[in-house]
Amino acid sequence: MQKLSFQESPEPVEGPRIIPPPPDILPVIDKMASYVAKNGPAFEYVVKNKGDSRFDFVHSWHQHNPYYEFRKRVYTEVRGFLQSLFLLSISFLNFSVLCCVLSCV
């Protein structure tokens, strides 16, 4: 078994390079990513099939698709986290109400 020294590092992970979109396209990509995170992949499917060149970044061949996919993943994860937090707060509120009711009985 070979040991890694502090001077060696593992091979970098290869993947698509994220090219930051220009300022005029950036808000369009971010908004689309947030809509897809909110409304699901069916919304993205509809947009892809309309053939509108303003939304070419949803296709894997487009240079800004890696940025779009990254933003979509971020919005989806944040949305999931916020939903979990909301459900947790509702559970805590229900528990607090239950404790209050039981203490009054």
Measured in whole angstroms, how far is the alpha carbon of residue 102 from the centre of its chain? 41
pLDDT in tens, 3-25: 555 555 555 556 678 888 999 99
Instruction: Name the CATH architecture for the domain at 26-53+62-104.
Output: Orthogonal Bundle (1.10)
What is the value of pTM for the model shown?
A: 0.65
Give whole-number Cα distances, 40 to 11, 34, 43, 60, 79, in Å. 35, 10, 6, 18, 12
- Judge contact between 57 and 65, C-beta under 8 A: yes
pLDDT in tens, 65-105: 999 999 999 998 877 666 666 666 766 666 565 566 556 65
